[in-house]
Chains A and B, each alone.
Chain A
């Protein structure tokens, strides 16, 4: 009997908190009515499926309201190791790989036998360009090659989720209504960033941030205005998804996204 009592109080408490959907609530009432029936306890998700995030005005940084974002994306487990693997993979792929040395056949000079085989009273020698000679070729030196490595697509997605969750948890993620600039002047963009204390050039470095701004499409004004600010970069959500770009998300302190970009990221990254 005490089990029934407990479940009843448990369900009532959850109903009060608003965490029970209607079907579960009706199930609870059925349990209440027929005390003889076996009690079925079902595991309910502890947390609601959405997180709440402020969205702000880009120009004034004033909060305009609260929006729901996916818990599976922005509340994903923070996996330091997966982030590391993704960053290493990305930087491997970025390597130019044009390093080159000359081997004994490529070094200029004759390949003529340097001294007669016998009768010199010294060691026998052949080519003067052998690796152990001064001025000789390099044995097993670097050759131009690709340094690309592979990372499974699902790990890439996990890493992106983890990176977004890190930014969210560390309060480094700013969701804005719309990134709209009237002019393409760097001065104007800088004034906005300065006013909102996201200033990329601040001297005390307490608030001096590198900033990544994500939008749905490239905006001409934003691209031109941010072009000459060393620590401000503007990318699109598509570019981040295509490249599995954890490096840029983690490499900037502040991540500013508009609502559209947030929507694209969370629909693409939500685990299927």
Chain B
């Protein structure tokens, strides 16, 4: 098709590519919404002529004519001692709690062996979740070392946390691991990048504990200077493993 168009239409545009103009030249001056798309606000208590004057459309006296929503406050049980007053508070909510989805090395090896995960490229939490290798990623994925003696494939992986034995096992197999801090937004952008118009900048940790953990080379934290400076080779990995 294009060859035909190009051969015949070197000097003229074809008719089908010329669009119909709007009836009036559109500019900022004559834009308007569809009729009926917006509604005027009801202004109550502004005199009898408005139709919403004296009682503001609320009828005569009573609970519904009073201020508020016409309902008592939430948890009010009509004057009876409410349940929140009758019983004492118990337990507490840990604000710093993090729930990591566990991933053991034998499972990861099985996923690689069955061809569900491609070990040639960097494995992120997106790949793990997409292939259903992990479930319920709340605050990230933590790599654990169950069945580490089965683990033989050299991989490059990026997760939220990893145990010391898991790090050892991966590097023994000639692989490479980085633990990266993810806040809620960064985690969502990693797992579901298709939901984002633009991938946001990933935030650095703010809490002192997190900064310390992710700056430690022992944890293969992404902030550690040693990790940043070292070129990723097998020799380096072995050296690092010895350091542990």
A residues bordering B, Cβ < 8 Å?
A: 18-21, 47-48, 50-54, 65-66, 68, 75, 78, 80-81, 83-85, 87, 153, 165-166, 168-171, 242, 247, 250-251, 253
Contacts and interface: CB of A to CB of B under 8 A. Distances in A.
B1 A21 contact: yes
Given A51-B19, A66-B6, A166-B26, 13 more contacts: A18-B4, A48-B1, A48-B5, A52-B17, A54-B13, A78-B26, A80-B26, A81-B34, A81-B37, A83-B26, A87-B31, A169-B21, A170-B25
Contacts of A153: 197
A88 to B, nearest CB: 8
Interface in B4-32: 4-6, 9-10, 13-14, 16-17, 19-22, 25-28, 31-32
28 contacts: A18-B5, A21-B1, A48-B16, A50-B2, A51-B19, A52-B13, A66-B6, A66-B13, A68-B2, A75-B19, A78-B22, A78-B26, A80-B32, A81-B34, A83-B26, A83-B31, A84-B31, A84-B33, A166-B22, A166-B26, A170-B22, A170-B26, A242-B198, A247-B28, A250-B26, A250-B28, A251-B27, A251-B28
A169 B4 CA distance: 24
B128 to A, nearest CB: 25
A54 B37 CA distance: 38
A20 B21 CA distance: 28
Contact of A168 (B4, B19, B32): B19
B18 to A, nearest CB: 9
Given A78-B26, A170-B26, A250-B26, A19 B1 contact: yes
The majority secondary structure among interface residues of chain A is mixed
A75 B14 CA distance: 14
Nearest to B7: A18
Chain B interface SS verdict (over half): loop
A170 B30 CA distance: 14
Contacts of B28: 87, 247, 250-251
Interface in B179-229: 197-198
Contact of A80 (B13, B14, B31): B31
Contacts of A80: 22, 26, 31-32
Interface of B: 1-2, 4-6, 9-10, 13-14, 16-17, 19-22, 25-28, 31-34, 37, 197-198
Given A81-B33, A83-B26, A83-B31, A165 B9 contact: no
B22 A169 contact: yes
Contacts of A84: 31-33
Nearest to B16: A47
Among A66, A75, A153, max chain B CB count under 10 A is at A66
B136 to A, nearest CB: 28
A119 B197 CA distance: 72
A78 to B, nearest CB: 6
A165 B19 contact: yes
A20 B2 CA distance: 11
Contacts of B33: 81, 84-85
A48 B197 CA distance: 28
A231 B177 CA distance: 55
Contacts of B13: 52-54, 66
A51 B5 contact: no
Nearest to A244: B197
Nearest to A54: B13
Contact of A250 (B5, B9, B31): B31
A169 B20 contact: yes
A80 B1 CA distance: 33
Contacts of B17: 48, 50-53
Nearest to A249: B28
A242 B9 CA distance: 36
A7 to B, nearest CB: 20
